[in-house]
Structure formats: structure tokens, C-alpha cells
Amino acid sequence: MNDNGDRPIRKKDKDPGGSQITIQTEAGDDRPEVQDIEEIYIDDEATEADFNHGRIKEIPANLNQHTKLEILTYSQNLLSKIQNLDLLINLRELDFHDNQIMVIENLDSLVNLEVLDLSFNRISKIENLATLKKLKKLYLENNRIEKIENLDNLKHLEMLELGSNKIRRIENLDGLTAITQLFLGKNKIAKIENICHLIGLQLLSIQSNRITKIEGLDTLINLEELYVSDNGLVKIEGLENNKLLRTLDLASNRITAVENLKHLSSLEEFWFNNNKVEKWEDLNELKGLANLKTVYFEANPIHAESTYRRKLMLILPQVQQIDATLCRL
């Protein structure tokens, strides 16, 4: 939004050079049966429109006349259907975060779209995205999706967010060769698989799943951030070729030993709280990692010792932060 009329304005501030659209909203929780009608004016030259948090129930048909729009936001409303966007072919960013949308539909003409946010809705299937070939970021977090599918045409996709769904298997990502960030946290995934071709991947987040083994990462030589906390891991392994890792999150697992990490010379942050390490000598595995700046070991058996922080600083003098507290120099 800017001061040149890009933001929608209410009736009392009517802009003679703008166009009127009529918004239907729900009055509130205390009177859900009451419908309010509100007139909003958009400058004919506007490239952005923000209808955030307005209890809006549907997209008006005459929004289509604002063909110069490039960014459109309808987050935190009561939309149940995607509609009336066919002529907005210049849209680059479209935000439907936190609505009641059940189906991905009516987006075929938005061929210039680069960012699409459909997170926190009620979507059960990934579909009808084939024409969005310029899409770079796709947010589908917190829906009801059970399967990864219908993404083959998104050759330019760089970021995919599928956290907090009902996905049981990593699959059908073969066409996403440009992807650098993949978020799959809070699903029901039991195995890291079918991502060996994603060689450009820099960030993989798969926390809060059902993973019991680190595997399938051999070809991901560009991986810099790996998040596998809150799973069922019992051993650190499978990271032999991931030498560029800067952040490694293995917190809240069942791991009893710190091992197989000496080769990770780029590692800066190691999150290992809520595991089962009992032996201080295990931490010698991290001694040679000169770039290591932050470690988390709280809620391991070694954390119970009164000299916990002092011992850590003696073993790992390069570290600047232990758990949530900076080290004193």
C-alpha cells in the first residue's frame, strides 16, 4: 500500500477517480445471521489491494475490472470459494491465508502468479495448479491434505510449505527441480524418501513426524538447514554428504550418542535438547567444528549436573550460546 491510492478506501473517503466494489461481510460472532454490505473504492490504477481481516464472505464479481492489480490480499476472512479473479492476469501475489476455502479452483488464468498462500484453510487435495508455471512460493500449511500430488508443472517453484496436514508419504516431487526450501513438519510421514533428485534443496524441515532414521539425503549436497526434531530418531547417521549444513535440529528424539558429525565443518547451530546423552565425552565429536556458535543440550541427562554450562564451555570454547543463554566472555 502507498499514499497514491493503491489501498482500498471506505465510502466516506471516496476517490472520484476510483471504482466501487461491494463487499458482503458477516457482522460478528454475536450476530452471525446479520449480513453487512460495505462499499469500498479502489483506484483504477491500483496495483495492490488489501482486504485483510474484514469478515468478508465472498469475492465480488466487479473486482475483476481492476486488471492492473499485482498483489491481492484476502487473509483472515470467511471466504469459502475462490472466484471472480479470471481477468486479473497481472497478479503476482495472491494471499488467502486463514479462510474457509475447501477447493483450489478458478486460478487457471493467473499465469503470472509467483506467490500463492492458501494456508490455514480446509483444502483436502492439491489440484488445479497446472497453469501456474511461474509460481515460486506455494503455502498450503495447516489444511487437510493427505497426499502430495499434481505439482509436476511447477518447474520454477522454489519454496513449498505443506506443514500441519495429514500427509503420510513424501512423493510426486520429481518435477520440482528448482526447489530450495521444503517444509513438511507436523504430518504423519514415517520415512525420508523420494527427494534424492532435489539436489538444489537448501532447507528441509520435517519436524513432528514419525521418522525413525535419517536417510535419503546422500545427493542433497547443497543442504544447509535440516530440521528433524520431535520424531523417533535413535541415532545420528546419514549425513556423510551434507557437508554444507549450517543448522542441524535433532531436538526431542531418542538419541543416546553424539556421533558422525566431525565432517560438518560449516555447522553453526546444533539443536539437541530433549535427547538421552549421558556421557560428556560424546561432546568431543563437536570439538573440531570451528564455526559452531550455538548448541542446545538442555533436558539431556548431562543437563542435570550443576556444572553443566561450565563443562560445556570447557569442551566447546568456540560456542557463544548454550541453550537460550549467551556465554560470558
Q: What is the pLDDT of residues 164-220, one digit of tens each?
A: 999 999 999 998 999 999 999 999 999 999 999 999 999 999 999 999 999 999 999
| DSSP alpha helix (H) spans, 67-170 | none
Angle at 256 between CA 274 and CA 237, to 5 degrees: 105
Q: Which residues contact 141 (CB under 8 A, 6 or more apart)?
A: 119, 120, 161, 162, 163, 164, 165, 183
- Three cell numbers, residue 316: 566447546
Intra-chain end-to-end CA distance of the chain, in Å: 46
> What pLDDT shows up at residue 16?
45
CA 95 to chain centre: 14
Q: What is the chain's mean pLDDT, rounded?
A: 91
Nearest to 77 by CA among 97, 59, 99, 93: 99
Tell me the average pLDDT across 16-41.
59
Residue 21 has pLDDT above 70, yes or no: no
What pLDDT digit, counting tens, does each position of 228-282 carry? 999 999 999 999 999 999 999 999 999 999 999 999 999 999 999 999 999 999 9
Task: Tell me what pLDDT residue 40 has.
Answer: 75
Residue with cell 556421557: 279
Q: Helices in the chain by DSSP H: which ranges?
A: 308-315
Cell, residue 84: 471472480
Is the model's pTM score more than 0.75? yes
CB of 211 closer than 8 Å to CB of 187:
no
